[in-house]
Amino acid sequence: MKAFLIMGALCFGTVPIDSVFAQTLYFSAIPDEDETALVTRFTKVAEYLEKELGVDVAFLPVKSYAASVTAFRNDQIQLAWFGGLTGVQARMMTPGSRAIAQGKEDPTFVSYFIANESTGLAESDQFPAAAKGMTFTFGAKTSTSGRLMPEYNIRLETGQAPDEFFSRVGFSGDHSQTLRLVSSGAWQVGALNYTVYDKAVSNGDPEVETTRIIWKTPPYPDYNWTIRGDVDERFGEGFTEKVQASLIGMTAPELLAAFPREAFIPAQNGDFAPIEETGRVLGLLP
């Protein structure tokens, strides 16, 4: 509740930003699921970090991938769980910011291409050329696993832009919505974060009954924790390293399940150079 009240104060300009953020570390995450799920996922993470860091910590949900980058740039949040592309964007806009941790799985992340069962497409190690002329949905426009790397691979494998290869192309907004839309048949084929689909399978969600994995992309670096470069000035010398150690030391299964990740490992900005290069190739980065 405190987080929402503060965001309201910011929106209406009733509280100076410096005084609001003086004693609290705020963090957010790209909205790869709906807001209710995000709040449930990250409230316990905030409680864990508060205990480990000895400062107040609050999770602030955002409405879009772009909003997470803007909030980071504007110092409304000081720490964020970004995707590969949004992390690069945020660090480019906020000099001195650093990637400090990533999931153990993130250096070799993949996207799934899924199809509605009515298409007759089956899983293959080869790019699904038979999907030519079908309808296709990405996730969010700046999602690494839901747009950047799927589009890169479509162009690489077919020599065509997505809207040339497919009959119609759209953007669902998030991975869970991509799964729902392909499951319903609103879109015949889509691309999404593999962990979202695997979680749906393990939960026995009904959407997986009418969808099929048809292809997996080659691996690429993806999600990361990024922190602003000025947090040591605010919270004390060595605070960045303390946050990094707390994230890497996050071993409780119920906390890791919020991501979901097996563990966290150190990260640095250079780990995401392939994402920056791909983003430039596709015109998503300056």
Q: Cα-flanking dihedrals φ and ψ of residue 20, to 5°?
A: -65, -45
* Over residues 30-59, mean pLDDT: 90
* Over residues 261-270, mean pLDDT: 98
* Over residues 72-94, mean pLDDT: 98
**What is the percent of the chain with per-residue pLDDT over 90, rounded to a whole number?**
87
Point out the least confidently predicted range of 1-15, 137-151, 261-275: 1-15
Whole-number pLDDT of residue 5: 37
Q: What is the pTM of this model?
A: 0.89
For the chain, the farthest-separated pair of C-alpha atoms sits apart, in whole angstroms, at 59
Confidence of residue 258 (pLDDT cuts 50, 70, 90): confident
10 pLDDT exceeds 90? no
DSSP 220: B
3-state secondary structure (DSSP) of residue 211: strand
- Angstrom distance (rounded) from CA 31 to CA 51: 25
Confidence of residue 33 (pLDDT cuts 50, 70, 90): confident
pLDDT tens profile 107-120: 999 999 999 999 99
Those residues whose C-beta lies under 8 Å from the C-beta of residue 11, and which sit 6 or more positions away, are none
Place of tokens 């991938």: 65
- The letter for the amino acid at 148 is L
Both structure tokens of 175? 């991975």
250 pLDDT exceeds 50? yes
Place of tokens 């899924």: 114
Peptide linkage before 260 cis (omega within 30 of 0): yes
The number of C-alpha atoms within 13 Å of 92 and in the hemisphere containing its C-beta is: 16
Q: Cα-flanking dihedrals φ and ψ of residue 89, to 5°?
A: -60, -45
- Angstrom distance (rounded) from CA 107 to CA 86: 16
* Over residues 134-144, mean pLDDT: 97
Both structure tokens of 147? 């747009």
* Over residues 31-55, mean pLDDT: 89
Both structure tokens of 126? 């080869």
20 pLDDT exceeds 60? no
Point out the least confidently predicted range of 14-18, 218-222, 265-269: 14-18
Both structure tokens of 170? 């759209």
- Angstrom distance (rounded) from CA 88 to CA 269: 8
225 pLDDT exceeds 90? yes
